[in-house]
A and B are shown apart, each in its own frame.
Chain A
Amino acid sequence: MKTILTSAFILCACLMQAQDKYTSAMLKNIDALYKSKTSEEYQSSVNAFDRIASTEKNKFEPYYYAAFGNIMMAVNETVPGKKDNYLDLASANVDKAKTIKPNDSEIIALEGFVHMIRVTVDPQSRGQEYSGKAFTAFNKAVALNPENPRALALLGQMQLGTARFFGNDSSEACATSGKALEKFASYRPASALAPHWGQVMAEEVKSTCK
C-alpha cells in the first residue's frame, strides 16, 4: 500500500515538476519579453517562446507571447515589407493560439492588435479593410470579457488613431481608455501566466485628452 502511495507521490511530483518547469520557463521569458526594448531582444524572447511551443504543443501561452513579441518587432520596424513579415508571423501564432483556446478575449484582442498594425503600414489603402477587422476583433474581445483591460486599451488606441487620421476629436478614444484604466485597476490575473501589458498604452491615450 505504502509503495503505491509513494509511487503515486513520486509520479505526482514528477508531473508537478513538469508543470513547474513550464511555468517557470514561461515566467522567466515573459519577464524578459516585457523588458525587451530592441528588436534583438524581442527576437530573442520570441525565439524562447518558439522553443517552448515546439515541446508544449497544447499550451496557448507560448504562441500568445510569441505573437506579442512579433507585433512589437513590427512596431519597431521601419521597412513596410518587413513589418508585414513580422505581422505574418504574429498572425500565424495567433491562429495557433486560437485553435488551442477558441473564443478567448485576450487572444482575440491580440488578433485585433495585428490588424491595427497592418493599418499603420499603409492607412490610405488598408484603412477600410484592416481597421474594420481590428474594430471587429476589439469589440468581440470586449464582448467575450468586459473586464479585459487590454481589449479596451487597444480599442481606445484604435479610436484615437482613426480620429487623428480623419482629424476628428478624440472624445470616444478618451472614454474608452479611461474605462480601460479602471479595468486595469481592478484586474485580477486568472493565472500566473496571464498577460499584464497594455496599461501604458491606455495611459498614453488618456494623456492626450483634456
Chain B
Amino acid sequence: MSCMKPTITLILLSLATLSLAQVRISGKVVNDKGEPLIGANILLKDTYDGASTDANGNFSFTTDEHGAQILIVTSISFEPLEHAVDLSRNIEVSLTMKESFNELEAVEISAGSFTAGDEKRRTILRAVDIATTAGATADIAGALNTLPGTTKVGETGRLFVRGGDDSEARTFIDGMLVMNEYNASAPNTPSRTRFMPFMFKGTSFSTGGYSAEYGQALSSALILNSKDKAEMNQTDIGILSVGAEVAHTQVFEKSSVGGKISYTSLAPYYELIKQRLDWEEPYSSLDINAAYRQQLGRKGGMLKAYGKYNNARLSYNQSSIADPTKKYLYEINNEYAYGNLAMQTPLNERWSLRGGISFTHNVNDMRIAKLPMYEQENGVHVKLVTESSLNEKVEVRIGAETISRNYSASRQDSVSGLTQKAAFDEIITSLFGESEIYLSDRLVTRVGVRTEYNSLNRNLTVDPRVSLAYKPFDKGQVSFAYGIFRQSVKNEYLRINNDLNSERAEHFILNYQLTTDNRTFRVEAYYKKYLSLIKYSLLEPSLMNNNGSGYASGAEIFYRDNKSIRNADFWISYSFLNTKRDYLNFPIEATPSFASQHNFSVVYKHFITKLRSQIGATYSFASPRPYNNPNLEVFNSERTPAYHDLSANISYLPKSWIIVYASCTNLLGRNNIFGYEYSAVPGSDGVYAARAITQPAKHFMLVGVFLTISKNKSVNQLPNL
C-alpha cells in the first residue's frame, strides 16, 4: 500500500492538471472618455498570465488559474486598476482607467519666473544658454539682461528689474543669500557677477511674485542651484586675453572635489585697446574656488560645500568735472570671501530636510585722493527647511532662517582730517510656511506667508504671498501672483540711521505662457507698488525717513524658438516699463535715471557642424533714460540718446577637447551715453559743468583658448563658456 501511495499521488496530480481546463479572459480597456487605450498591460495577479491591449484597446488571453482572482491593469500616465474576476468559465470584462496625476504635464506657476535647468524639462532658459549668450561674456547678469523684465543699465552691468534698482535684485546659491555678488569695478564702469554660470545646474530667475522662502529682495530673486557630484576626473586650462585659469575635478565613489584658480589682469589688454579712463593700475584679481560634494545615504541625500576667495585691485586718475586737467587718484582694493554649506536628506518616505549656512565677507579698502575710506560687511545666513509631499497633490514647506550682518565703514574727512565712523549690526529672524495645492491637474495654487523680525528697527512683519495657475486647454496656461516683499534699506543709509524701517514692495503679476516642444511664448503684465522708501532732503541728509513711495507697471513679451531654424536657437524679449518714484532727494515724483521705458533684445545662436563652430549674436536696445540737469528747472527732465548694442561671439572646436573662443561687443561702434555727471558746484559762469557717462571703451573683446584634459577625450568646456 505504501508503494502505491506515490503512484496515486502522481495520478491524482496529473488528473488535477487535466481536469482544470484553460479559461479565456478577454475584454476592452478604455479611458474615462471611452477612448481605447493601446498598450495597456493586463495581468492576473501572482501569475505570468496576461496580455497587452491592441490598437482598439482589446485584449485576450488564457490561463490555468481558477476561482476568484484579481486582474491588475497598468498603463503609462493612468492610475493602476485592480478588478476582481471569477474564473469558473470564460469571461469578458470592460475596464475604464482613470488618468493619473502627472506633474510634468500638469499646470505650474509661471508668473514672474524664468526657470532654467535640466531637471524640469520644459525650461525657458537652460544653464548652458546663459554661458553662450553673445554680449554677456559668460556673465550671469549679462545673459539675464536679455530677458524681459530687465532694464539695461550699461554703466553698471548689473540686474535692474521692473523699475527696481540693482540692490533690489538678490542672488541665492542653494537657497542661501549671497551678499555683494558683483566684482569690484571703477565707478560707472560695468562689473561682473562673481559666480560663473558653469557652477550651476539650474537657474531660476524670478522678476516678481516669488516664494515665501526668499526674503530681503524687493524686486527679483535669482536662485542658483549648484551642480551635484561630478562624474569624471578632469583638468581644465583656460588662457584668455585678460588672464588665465586652471581647474581640476577629482571624483570618488560617493564624493567629488574640485578647485579652480584664475588670475585676471586687464593691463596688457588696456595697452592694446584704448580706454576712456586714465588707468594707474588696471583691474587685476586673484580668484580661488573650491567645491566638495558628498552623497549622503542611499536615498538621494547630498552635502555640498563651496568656498570662494577673491582679491581685486584697481586704481585710476579721476579727473574733476569742472576742470578735466585736475586729477586725483582713485584706488580700491576689494577682498571677498564666500562660503556655503548646504545639505539635504530625506527624513522618511514623505518628509525631507534641507538646510545650510552661508558666510560672506567683503572689504572695500579705498583711497580717494589719498584719503582713506574703508568699508566692511560680514554676513551669516542660516536656514533650515522641512518639506513634504503630503500626497501627490499637496506639498508643504516650513522653514526658519536668520540673516545677521555686521557692517562698519570709516572715512577721513578732507577738511578736518578726522576719521568718521558708522556701523550697524542687524539680525533678521524669520519663519515661513508655504503650501502648493493641486486642485486638479489644471489648477494649482500656492499660498505662503513670511514673518520677519528685524533687530534694528524692532519691527515684526507678516507678508503674504499667493500664486495661482490655471491651464484651460492642453497647451497654454494663465498664472497670477501676488505678494508683499521687504528689504532693509541700503547700507549707506542704514549706517547713518539704524532705526529706518525696511522698504516694501507689493507685486501683482498676470502671466500667459504657451510652451510646445522647443518653443515658448509668454506675455506678462504687472503692477508694483513701492512703500516706505527712503526719503531725505538735500538740506539735511541725516534726517532720513521712510516717507518715500513709488510704483512700476509694465508689460513684457518673450518668444523663444529652437525648432524653426535647423541647428539654431533664438529668443526675443520686449519690456515696457512705466515707473515713477518720490524717494531719496527727489523734489517731485519722477522716473529714476536707471529706468528706460522700452527694452528689446534678440539673441541668436547657430551651431555649424561643418565648421565645428557655434556662432552667436545679440542685439539690445534701450530707449532714452532720464537724467537730472541741475541747470534746468525741472528735475530729471533730460533724456539720454537711445542705447544700441550688437555683440557677437564664436566658439570653434578644432578638437573635441580644445575650444577657441572670441567675442566682441558693440560691433556697430556706437558711442552709447548712459547719462551725465555734473560738478557739485556751479562754475564762475553759474553753470554746472557736465561730463557724459559712456562706455569704458568702444568695444570689449575677449579671446581665449580652453583645454580639457580627461580620460575621455570627448569632454570639453563648451558648456562652461
Contacts and interface: CB of A to CB of B under 8 A. Distances in A.
Contacts of A7: 6
Given A51-B43, A125-B128, A131-B715, A10 B656 contact: no
Interface in B5-53: 5-6, 9-10, 13, 38-39, 41, 43, 45-52
Interface stretch (B186-194, B386-394, B486-494, B607-615): B607-615
A132 B6 contact: no
A132 B5 contact: no
B712 interface: yes
Tell me which of B45, B51, B518, B714 has the highest count of chain A C-beta atoms within 10 A of its own C-beta.
B714
Contact of A166 (B6, B10, B55, B656): B656
Contacts of B54: 40
A208 interface: no
A133 interface: yes
> Chain B interface: which size bin?
35 or more
A165 B716 CA distance: 12
SS class, residues of chain B in contact with chain A: loop
Contact of B6 (A3, A25, A129, A131): A3
Contacts of A6: 6
A133 B231 contact: yes
B565 interface: no
Interface in B595-630: 607, 609-612
B10 A10 contact: yes
B144 interface: no
Interface in A112-133: 124-129, 131-133
Interface in B675-721: 711-716, 718-719
A55 B48 contact: yes
Contacts of B104: 81, 85
Contact of A135 (B55, B232, B612, B719): B232
B6 A10 contact: yes
Contact of A132 (B41, B52, B72, B232): B232
Contacts, number: 118
Contacts of B610: 167
Contact of A51 (B13, B49, B129, B201): B49
B684 to A, nearest CB: 62
A68 B121 CA distance: 23
A50 B43 CA distance: 9
Contacts of A48: 50, 52
Interface string B144-186: 0000000000000000000000000000000000000000000
B517 interface: yes
A130 B227 CA distance: 13
Contact of B232 (A25, A40, A136, A165): A136
Given A126-B118, A129-B118, A168-B656, A163 B517 contact: no
A132 B715 contact: yes
B231 A132 contact: yes
Contact of B714 (A25, A55, A136, A163): A163
Contacts of B712: 132, 135, 139
A126 B231 CA distance: 13
Contacts of B74: 50
A103 interface: no
A162 interface: yes
A85 B609 CA distance: 29
B48 A81 contact: no
Contacts of A133: 231
B233 to A, nearest CB: 10
A56 to B, nearest CB: 8
A50 B50 CA distance: 10
A122 B326 CA distance: 58
Nearest to B123: A125
Tell me which of B2, B569, B712 has the highest count of chain A C-beta atoms within 10 A of its own C-beta.
B712
Contacts of A47: 39, 41, 50-52
Given A10-B9, A131-B714, A135-B714, A44 B47 contact: no
A157 interface: no
B599 to A, nearest CB: 26
Given A10-B6, A44-B39, A128-B719, A52 B121 contact: no
Interface string A170-190: 001000000000000000000
A58 to B, nearest CB: 15
A55 B46 contact: yes
Given A2-B2, A47-B52, A159-B714, 19 more contacts: A21-B48, A40-B38, A47-B50, A50-B74, A51-B48, A55-B46, A84-B121, A125-B118, A125-B127, A125-B129, A125-B719, A133-B231, A135-B712, A136-B232, A162-B714, A166-B655, A166-B714, A168-B655, A172-B713
13 contacts: A10-B6, A51-B47, A51-B48, A55-B47, A80-B518, A125-B128, A128-B719, A131-B715, A162-B656, A163-B656, A166-B716, A167-B609, A168-B656
A-B interface, 6 closest residue pairs, ranked by CB to CB distance from nearest = A162-B714, A43-B39, A47-B41, A6-B6, A132-B231, A167-B612
